[in-house]
Amino acid sequence: MNLAINLIQALLLIAIAPLVSGVIARMKARIQNRHGASLWRPYADLLKLFRKQDLIPNTASVLFRFAPTILFAATAAAAAFVPMLHPAALFGVSGDIILLVYLLAIGRFFLMLGAMDGGSSFGGLGASREALVSALAEAPLLLALISVAILSHTVSLSGIVLTTVQQGPLHLSAVYAFALGALVLIAIAETGRIPVDNPSTHLELTMIHEAMVLEYSGPSLALIEWASAIKLTLIMAMLAGIFAPWGMATSASIAALLLAPLALIFKLTVLAVSIAVIESSIAKLRIYLIPDFLGMASALAILAVAFTALMR
Amino acid sequence: MMQIAFNSFLAALLMIPAITLLCRRDSRVRALPSWLLLLTLLAGTIVAGFSFWRGGRLALDLSWVTPFPFALTVDRLSAFFLLLICVVGAPVVLFSTAYVERHYSPTKADWLWVLLPLFLLSMVLVVIASTAFAFLFGWELMTLFSAALILIDGDSERRRHNIFIYLMMMHASAAAVIASFFLFLPNASTLDFTSMRAAVAAMPMGLRSAIFLMSFVGFGTKAGIVPFHLWLPKAHPIAPSPVSALMSAVMLKTAIYGFVRFTFDFLGGGPAWWGYLVLLAGAVTGLLGILYALTEHDMKRLLAYSSVENIGIIYLGLGAALVLMANNSPAWATAALVAALLHALNHSLFKSLLFLGAGAISEATHTVDIEFMGGLLKRMKITGIVFLIGCCSIIGLPLLNGFVSEWVILRAFIAGSELTSLSCAILLPLMAGVLALIGGIAVAVFAKLYGVAFLGRPRSLQAEEATEVATAMQVAMALLAASCVIIGILPGIVLNPLTALASDLMHTAALPEAALSIAHTLPWVAVCIAVLIIVIAGFRRITRITATWACGLPALNGRMQYSSAAFSKPLRTVFSRVYEADRTVDVHYAQQPYFAKSITYRSVRTTSFEKSLYRPAVDMIVSLATRLRKLQTGNMQVYLLYIFLALVALLLWMRFA
Amino acid sequence: MGLIELAAAKALASSAVFLFITLLMMASAKRISTCIVLFSIQSAIMAAEILAIAYASKSIEAYAVASLVITVKVIAIPWLLFRIIKSLKASQDVAASTTGAQSVFIMAGLILLSFFAVAPYAKTLRLDEDLLAAAIALLLAGAFLMISRKKALMQVIGLLVLENGIFVAVLATTYSMPLVIEIGIFFDLLMGVFLMGLFVFRIRDTFEHLDVSKLRRLRG
């Protein structure tokens, strides 16, 4: 029974990921006074790309062909770690935050290599900038997650969620506040949103993620786009699960099982709208101001860890 | 029976050089010594495996041949490191069978096959010695034989300078190690390990701290802790590739063995400040090592600096073990020690793989500068794939062995938050952040290395004409890669005996269940990812080969891609205070000031330690020696005066003491 | 336990956390108006604390102090500062001498330092450690803002934050705020802000800029 729900949960995350990015795009368009594309547009894009040819550059090697597959597999496996409907996930009990962070790193590494295999300078540009962002974002991400793990006395994501659910919403503590601040900044960096990276830019000199996928087309590009949507949804679900998990089904009653998806939709919508608002109101940072941005996240994460001991 | 195998293993290592000398004339049996060495190492693996997995002890006492006590014992810790030597040595020897005959003249090949078994024997001696004399004998021989092996590659002025620095620093480290042994002398006069272990209980804290500091400096220099790491990037790149692999993968681990033997076995842990010192050394070494590796485009120097970084990670684990032990958390201290030892094994596996790969590449392209490579994966498929596995392991990606040891170290750091001491409860989790930062930069470094060397277009003619290397070399590298994958997916194979080892060493009962939970998750994650990859790759796709989009320009060549310096530039700018770059731009004008004929840009990163630490120290010693030289006047009367003064002083001392 | 009591208890318990959050945001702020808004939020948090204490100890004096804080610190002084900025028509840039990340790191260090400094006293005097540490942190943060920001208006804001810190320190140690002292401090503050406002205009008219570091040219 548990296994079935966890499997459904993981598949659900993979399935609704394009919808989430569609909602964000629609919200941005509305804020910018445009009508915006349909919410289901990303699905249509994926279908279109899957039917097209896969163009391979003549200099590319076998790694170029396999990088999107490995990226998608690693990100989808990471999706099985995140509790959405109830405080447990497919790998939830023994899977933990460290494994989750490093699984996402697999995808990033292979995407960087695939970019360099294209043989053009844009791939190297994207890869070197992505190396900059990911090198500096890894420490604050891990530290922030470790701080909430220390509070919950467990390293598994579902254990953290369960502890927060049982504590109740009035139990605000400094650790959660600082960890939330750090994780919001890191989430923006990891998912490549403004102010770190513009996901809808057409100017190569401003690209980080887009420059890495310039050479990809057809099903490979579909896999990459889908994987980045999964990563975005995964991180949003993780934030919602760690900091506002109330509404998840803690018992097997019908009421709880009906409430859980509604609560999830509500939380994801709130997060999507906030991302859209942030993206429409701030300008993108210069590349060499990104270390500054990530430094602020590091300071907040260090404070979060320090406060786990100070406010015992 | 294992005892006989053990004795014959040692005897074989000693006799293979003689066999090499006998077989060098006859071309039919020239290959014999190399295959004998391979068989010997396989036998050694079995012997070591028996002691490591089943826990049996083996001993050999040769004191009747030597003037000082010379005994060899294989307990679990020695067996682990013996296993490390043999498991890494066998593929390296297999690699050398093909590599040496292509690269070296018959005379040099003979020298190599004489010195290589002796080098391996000296390392084996170090890890199985159970008296101080045997240990030091092996220790000094390691340095000598490795220096001789480096000399095989040539003795130009620069190489001799680097070898000289190597020998000097190894000598200093040997002096510190000898001092730490001799500090046991008043309490344990025979200087064999059992009496040393027993004598520690009676020693005052000050003496124990002195021994700890001496052994820390001595073994730290050999392992490559900052600021004693100077010799590593000078000595490892100039050695022949198989020897570099052995030096980086195995020789550094003998220093780890020595440090663990002294601190955890003899001294049995100590006050918390020991742990803080080791943690600080580990953090600084790890960060500086990987930051220096970021700037390198000589493949072997990059790998040498990355060895420095991994030694830093091992010391982080050891420091965590010491701090946890001093704060009454023995279960997690054992876990941290297990993690550090596992990382030593993992590092030797993937670092030897990477160095052998560098050897294969240098044979195919006749260069080790990655700025002249590119597109090698298309031309050297097997080498490229196993090198990729090596890169993924060293970064610490899941499903490979590097991840497992880093995971356990991180778990130990997180467990440190439950200590009662406030500073420890904050410091240990923050060290997890340092480890994550080191790992993040390592991803950038190895993405740069692999991307620039193996992917994209070739940047030179030699890279374009590269072909795959000999089968023996491919098989050797594939074996190491396979071991990385196996330990990555089924870490329980090595974790369980290591747990028994560490529990024995630290006298604890058992590890907390949470410390090794990763061993249960990883196989499932591997299955999940494998299933996903098979499902996705199974879909039929229509592919078409085209040219890379070049914004409409006619053709792209290799020089238009990102180079290694360009890739690392953003991160180098962020950490620019660590590097002190010396930049010069030389412009030659055909017609001032607009038409430049040639522009040369030079950027040299100076090693700040050489300028600020070593040069002043060397100058101080030399000036001290110059002043002492004045004592040697050459005048007979003055020398008689010295003897007279000594006599007077002795009389006075006898009177007043 | 009524809802108000719950809210009062919650306000007192977590006000330190909110104060730290405002300090960190002030460290990373790039515009003067952001700092002013954050200062008024800080004062509002302090007013909430006083109201909680007033409700718990049922003293009229505390209610009076709370209303004074709200009128002067949350509404009047920020309004005054906003008016000065608008009539100056100067740029809103904070002119910090440390980058954003460095400021946040220094602020985090100051917060940790205040915790370590306060720990022994809080135990012996049986006080609320968090609130006392917040007070010291506000003091240090105010001083840091005055040192590292070069605009004249930021000096004022730094001084105001410092005064907030003194206020919270009194709150943490005595759990009450004598009205007389509070009125005296407010009067000083108001005069200080008025005078600063006047001088800011004079400085701008004479030198045509408000950058404090350029005043160094006045030396002999």
Contacts of B539 in chain A (CB under 8 A): 219
User: Which residues on C lie below 8 Å from A293 (Cβ)?
Assistant: 100-101
Find which of A52, A120, A147, A178 to mutate to test the B interface (most B CBs within 10 Å of its CB): A120
From the list C10, C24, C99, the residue facing A292 with the nearest CB is C99
CA dist B371 and B301 (Å) reads 14
B34-62: pLDDT as tens digits: 888 999 999 999 889 888 988 878 888 88
Q: Which token pair is A234? A: 């995964």
Rounded to whole angstroms, the Cα distance separating A14 from A77 reads 10
A chain contacts of residue B381, beta-carbon cutoff 8 Å: 62
Report the distance separating Cα B86 and Cα B42, nearest Å.
Answer: 7
Q: How many CB pairs (< 8 A) connect A and C?
A: 51
The H helix count followed by the E strand count for chain C is: 8, 0
Rounded Cα distance between B145 and B114, Å, is 10
Closest CA in chain B for residue A295: B574
* Cβ contact A143–B411 (<8 Å): no
Cβ atoms C94, C31 nearer than 8 A: yes
Nearest CA to B71 out of B197, B192, B194 is that of B192
pLDDT tier at C179, thresholds 50, 70, 90: confident
Kindly write down the DSSP assignment for every residue of B566-616, as one continuous string: HHHHHHHHHTTTT-EEEEEEEEEEEETTTEEEEEEEEEEEE-HHIIIIIHH
Which tokens is A43 given?
């699905």
Four-point Cα dihedral B422, B425, B428, B434, nearest 10: -80
pLDDT over 90, % of chain B: 59
* C18 min Cα distance to partner chain A (Å): 8
Give every CB contact of residue B491 below 8 A, 6+ residues apart in sequence: B342, B401, B404, B518, B519, B522
Categorise residue C151: left if φ over 0, alpha if ψ from -120 to 50, beta otherwise: beta
Any idea what DSSP says for residue B54?
A: I
Q: How distant is the Cα of C6 from the closest Cα of chain A, in angstroms?
A: 10
At B134, list the tokens. Answer: 């045997």
Asked if A142 and B454 come within 8 Å (Cβ–Cβ), the reply is no
- Within a 10 A sphere around the Cβ of B520, how many other Cβ atoms? 13
The length of chain C, given as a count of residues: 220
Q: What are A294's two structure tokens?
A: 């990530």
Q: What integer pLDDT is reported at residue A210 of this predicted model?
A: 92
CA distance A201 to chain B (A): 17
**pLDDT band, very low/low/confident/very high, at C211 (cuts 50, 70, 90):** confident
Helical ranges in B416-491 per DSSP H = 422-454, 461-464, 471-489
pLDDT at residue B450 above 90? yes
**Segment C132-150 mean pLDDT:** 92
Q: Is the pLDDT of residue B290 over 70?
A: yes
* Mean pLDDT within B429-453: 96
Q: Which residues of B touch A305 (CB under 8 A)?
A: 417, 426, 429-430, 433
Taking the C-alpha atoms of residue A101 and residue A138, their distance in angstroms, rounded to an integer, is 8
Residues B145 and B186: their CA atoms lie apart, in Å, by: 33
> B199 is written with which tokens?
């004598």
* pLDDT tens per residue, range B466-525: 899 999 999 999 999 999 999 999 998 999 899 989 988 888 777 777 778 888 888 888
Bond prior to A195 in cis (omega within 30° of 0): yes
> Per-residue pLDDT averaged across B625-636, rounded?
85
The per-residue pLDDT for B391 is 97
Q: What is the pLDDT of residue A35?
A: 93
Q: Could you tell me if B376 and B115 are in contact, meaning their C-beta atoms sit under 8 angstroms apart?
A: no
- A–B interface: beta-carbon pairs under 8 A: 243
Domains of chain A, by residue range, sit at 2-310
Q: Closest by alpha carbon to A59, among B376, B542, B371, B382?
A: B376
Between chains, do A127 and B521 touch, taking CB under 8 Å as contact? no
C-alpha to C-alpha distance for B601 and C12, rounded to whole angstroms: 62
List chain A residues with CB under 8 Å of B422.
Answer: 309-310
Per-residue pLDDT tens digits for B202-257: 888 999 999 999 999 999 999 999 889 989 999 999 999 999 999 999 999 999 99
Comparing CB atoms, the residue among A57, A58, A127 nearest residue B567 is A127
What is the residue type of A74? A
**Helix, strand or coil, per DSSP, at residue B23:** helix
Nearest CA in chain C to A172: C14
Asked if C17's CB is within 8 angstroms of A294's CB, the reply is: no
Confidence of residue B66 (pLDDT cuts 50, 70, 90): confident
Contact B353, B391 (CB under 8 A): no
A7 touching C, CB under 8 A? no
Interface with C, mutate which of A303, A305, A307, A308 (most C CBs under 10 A)? A303
Which residues, 6 or more positions from B334, have their beta carbon under 8 angstroms from its beta carbon?
Answer: B321, B499, B502, B503, B506, B508, B511
Residue B141: pLDDT over 60: yes
DSSP-assigned letter for residue C215: G
Residue C162: both structure tokens together: 């410092």
**Given an 8 Å threshold on Cβ–Cβ distance, is A215 in contact with B549?**
yes
CB-based contact A61 B411, cutoff 8 Å: no
**Chain C residue with minimum CA distance to A292:** C101
Which among A170, A177, A302 has CB closest to C108?
A: A302
Give the chain C residue nearest A291 (alpha carbons): C101
Contact A151, B425 (CB under 8 A): no
User: What pLDDT, on a 0 to 100 scale, did the predictor assign at position A114?
Assistant: 95
The pLDDT assigned to A93 comes to 57
To the nearest whole Å, the CA of A230 is away from the closest chain C CA by: 30
Q: If pLDDT is split at 50, 70 and 90, which confidence band does B607 have?
A: low
> Exposure string (b/e) for A216-234, b if CB count within 10 Å is 16 or more?
bbbbbbbbbbbbbbbbbbb
Which of C104, C116, C131, C136 is best to mutate for the A interface (most A CBs within 10 A)?
C104
Q: What is the ipTM, given to two decimal places? A: 0.95
Asked if the model's pLDDT at residue C159 lies above 70, the reply is yes
**Quick one: pLDDT band at residue B313, thresholds 50, 70, 90?**
very high
Find chain A residues with C-beta within 8 A of C111's C-beta.
303
pLDDT value of residue A95: 65
Nearest to C101 among A173, A299, A311 (CB): A299
| Interface contact A132, partner C, CB < 8 A | no
Q: How confident is the model at residue B121 (pLDDT cuts 50, 70, 90)?
A: very high
How far apart (Å, rounded) are the C-alpha atoms in residues A86 and A53?
A: 40
SS3 (DSSP) at C186: helix
Beta strand B543-546 pairing with A54-57? parallel
| CA separation for the pair A311, B160 (Å, rounded) | 59
Interface test with C, best of A310, A311, A312 (most C CBs within 10 A): A310
In chain A (312 residues long), the average pLDDT of successive 10-residue segments reads: 78 94 94 93 95 91 94 93 78 74 95 92 93 96 95 88 82 86 95 91 89 92 96 94 85 81 92 94 92 95 93 70
Listed in sequence order, the residues at least 6 apart from B421 whose beta carbon sits closer than 8 Å to its beta carbon are B272, B327
Instruction: Kindly determine whether residue A63 and residue B570, on different chains, have CB atoms separated by under 8 Å.
Output: no
Of C79, C16, C25, nearest to C46 (Cα)? C16
Closest among B73, B74, B38 to B53, alpha carbons compared: B74
Report yes or no: A129 at the B interface, CB cutoff 8 Å. Answer: yes
Per CB-CB distance under 8 Å, the chain A contacts of C130 are: 311
Neighbours of chain A (3+ CB pairs under 8 A): B, C
Q: What is the 3-state secondary structure (H, E, C) of B208-222?
A: HHHHHHHHHHHHHHH
Query: Does A139 sit within 8 Å of B548, measured CB to CB?
Result: no
Q: Taking the CB of residue B510, how many other CB atoms lie within 10 A of it?
A: 10
As a dihedral over the C-alpha atoms of residue C209, residue C210, residue C216, residue C217, rounded to 10 degrees, the angle is 10
Nearest to C108 among A172, A173, A303 (CB): A303
Q: What are phi and psi of C46, to 5 degrees?
A: -65, -40
Structural tokens at position A291: 């270390």
> Which positions ≥6 away from B81 have C-beta within 8 Å?
B127, B253, B254, B257
Residues with Cβ within 8 Å of A153's Cβ and at least 6 positions away in sequence, in order, are: A159, A163, B418
3-state secondary structure of B129: strand
Domain boundaries, chain C: 3-88+99-207
Judging contacts by C-beta atoms under 8 Å, the chain A residues touching residue B568 are: 128
Measure the CA–CA gap between A82 and A84, rounded to whole angstroms: 6
Nearest CA distance, C4 vs chain A (angstrom):
14
Contact list in A for residue C14 (CB cut-off 8 A) is 172-173
Q: Which amino acid is at B560?
A: M
- Sorting pLDDT into bands at 50, 70 and 90, what band is B566? very high
Nearest to B308 by CA among B228, B413, B362, B370: B228
Q: Tell me, yes or no, if A282 comes closer than 8 A to chain C by beta carbon.
A: no
* Distant-in-sequence, close-in-space partners of B489: CB < 8 Å, separation ≥ 6: B399, B522, B523, B526
Of B411, B249, B220, whose CA–CA distance to B345 is shortest? B249
pLDDT of amino acid B6 = 87
Label residue C175 by pLDDT band (50, 70, 90). Answer: confident
Which chains border B (3 or more CB–CB pairs < 8 Å)? A
Report which residue type is found at B655. Answer: R
Closest residue of A to C114, CA-based? Answer: A310
Residue B400 scores a pLDDT above 70: yes
Measured in Å, how far apart are chain B's first and last C-alpha atoms? 60
CA angle B435, B440, B446 (to 5 degrees): 120
Which residues on neighbouring strands pair with residue B59, listed in sequence order? Answer: B73
Q: How far apart are CA A94 and CA A158, in angstroms?
A: 9
Chain C nearest-CA distance from A296, in A, is 5
Task: Tell me the backbone φ, ψ of residue A234, rounded to 5 degrees.
Answer: -60, -45
Three-class DSSP labels, chain A: CHHHHHHHHHHHHHHHHHHHHHHHHHHHHHHCCCCCCCCCHHHHHHHHHHHCCEEEECCCCHHHHHHHHHHHHHHHHHHCCCCCCCCCCCCCCCCEHHHHHHHHHHHHHHHHHHHHCCCCHHHHHHHHHHHHHHHHHHHHHHHHHHHHHHHHCCCEHHHHHHHHHHHCCCCCCHHHHHHHHHHHHHHHHHHCCCCCCCCCCCCHHHCCHHHHCCCCCHHHHHHHHHHHHHHHHHHHHHHHHHHCCECECCCCCHHHHHHHHHHHHHHHHHHHHHHHHHHHHCCCCCHHHHHHHHHHHHHHHHHHHHHHHHCC
Chains that touch C (3 or more CB pairs under 8 A): A
Distance (Å, whole) CA A3 – CA A8: 9
